[in-house]
Structure 1
Amino acid sequence: MPTSATARPMTPATVWPARGRHTRGAAEDVLRRSLEQRKRSRDIDDFLELPEADAAPAERVFEARWRVDETVIVRARLSLTSGSDEGQDWVLIAEAEQPWRQEWPSPVGLFWPDEPDAGWDRVATADLSLREINPLPRDDRETRRLLRSAVRGGWHIHVVVHEAMTPDERGRMPVARWLPPGLRDRVVEHRAAPQQLRGVNWALRESGVQVPRGGAVVLPGSPAPDGYDVEDFSVRAVFLDGSEPTDLVAAVTRFAALPRPLPDGAQDALTALREDWHLLTLQEELERQRGLVAMYAEALEAMTKSRDLYREAAERAHEALVAYQESAGAAPAPRQASGVSAASPLQQITRTFERFKGKSTRPTAPAGEKE
């Protein structure tokens, strides 16, 4: 089983990350319409689309703010890359003022429309769906390649379910519909047909997990979170008859609660959310302007002190220079004892600058003159 990378920063308890790909039309138009509707229905307090000049090249950025439990503020930032033949990738980072609770609304569901075939619910790194079941390939090697690449990065929770027998339409509903709202858009469900059990378990050997016949397993991912034990996240029986798979829902929920490293690329997105936030309330804008005024005042005071220090240093240097010029035509000083020399005007200038720099320099006595 893969081990977790301890060097990677951990996901803060207040942070909710998500990633996907939009494959139909202009994603920015879909986002604008959806956010406008959410604002009108008061699902969110406000949103903002950053001007292109304020975003990175080939990137569109949307910010939104809303409240959960009436008083807890959530700030979220969705960055959208420029279009390609395969679609537009998006990364969403949300952060609440308190540790995240899975019963809160999904940030993805507040940015994107909750409509069938909306086009935003594809996995960015593979041809997989976030809201529908994903039948595994018939070829065992292809299954291994798919699962190996899909779990990398740590953005999603992957679940493999084995069908003990071919289910009817009731059994083809994804397990995500039973999950808390905060998990529904982060789970990728893979389905293995009845005859695929041996091949799927062969493909999963390098992950250190196995799928029970007619059961399911939550994959550890790469890297695996601390505290992952395959026995805790294997479900022996999943009844695909339309009823709630209670044990599987519990296993996925427990897995989501484990401390996990930040997904690949999420650190930059989280930094942008925290340090480059634009959607401010009037009170926040006032506090920001006050902070800027205080910062400018401190900078001006430091510049004034620096100017006074330089002026004092210049006056002392000028005095030393005058003393040097006056001594230039004077008679030579009396010979000093061996190893001892009187300080010259040039040394006085040097010492003046050294005192200004706050350094204590011990001058070296020049060698005695020869007759």
Structure 2
Amino acid sequence: MIRNANANVLTGLLFESLLGTGTMEWIPQWTAKFHTAVWLVLSLYTILLFSTGLIILYISKHISNNECIGCTLFDAFFGRILGWVLNFILVGFLILGASKAFLTGLDLIHYTTLPYTPKIALVLFALSVPLQLLYAGYESLFRFQTVLLVPALFLAVVLLFISLRSADFRNLLPITAPPSLWTVDPLKAVMDLLQGLILFMVYIPLFIQLRVSYQGTMRAVLFAGIGIVLLNALNLLVVLTAFGSFEASTLHYPVLEAVRIQKMTGPLLERLDLVFLMPVSVAVMSAVNLYAYGAYHVLSRYIPSRKRIALIFVVVSMLTFVFIPSNFEFVSDVYESMMRTLEVILVGSLPVMLVKQRLQIVERHVKK
């Protein structure tokens, strides 16, 4: 399937990588710090998203299939030893990312529909899909991801536009610039939302090995980036026009609450929040799958004859973080620390990768 995939398949996968869990938990944090000036921060996010994503793609442009024998871009540029160290830091981040997305899904179900259901029952039920996809391989994973994306995204966008029927656009004004806007806080907030770019370090080499063209991947990144920016802007517009920046900063799941307050009559229309839970659940499951498979993919390259050990390690690690006491706060704190570490490594390594890429191109021309 993927060997003959067009840009639409890659667009969906990259879009899901950038989307994360789809719960938009960044909106309360942004509105608490930046109030109605969040649009300026979203503009900064757009600039950094496209610039960083396109730089990563440009770096991978001249990597041949033979040079990409390793499992991440770190292998292609930093050699076996340093690449090994960076890869295992990446594995820790991916396992934590899968655990955090898993916990978000459990919390969402408890919050909306099944508050008294034992966690163990939800975990065993929700873990059945990732386990099968991890064992089946990347083709089954990608097929599962792309089949569910379009209907889930369509349903979510329709419900978001329905939520604008009670919008009060006066809540968007006045646009004031709080003191925090002139500090490093906007950059920190944006970096928290760019975590999906770290998945590019795993999946772009996989696309190269599957002989996906650079032009197709470039179109996929552009369309996925445009789509995610528009979706984030729509979610932000719905929340701000429904609640205003002050009330939005106090909500746990602001988009879900904006859909919930819509008063409509008819089958399935009285509880639109439960209908909206369907596409959000798809996004959460997609995040779990992408992070978990990324960790499994990296580990299995180091122990190719013992892939089941890699699978067991990923699943056991996820379950450990899911059931740790005070789990969500602990996992979130550790995940945030590791995410910032990896982002610093990624941003710091981009110039090094660019230089090494140019040297490799010059060396090839000299050999010719």
* TM-score of the superposed pair, with normalisation by structure 1: 0.21
Structure showing greater relative contact order (alpha-carbon pairs closer than 8 Å, 6 or more residues apart): 2
Structure 1 or 2: more strand by fraction: 1
Structure 1 or 2: more helix by fraction: 2
* TM-score of the superposed pair, with normalisation by structure 2: 0.21
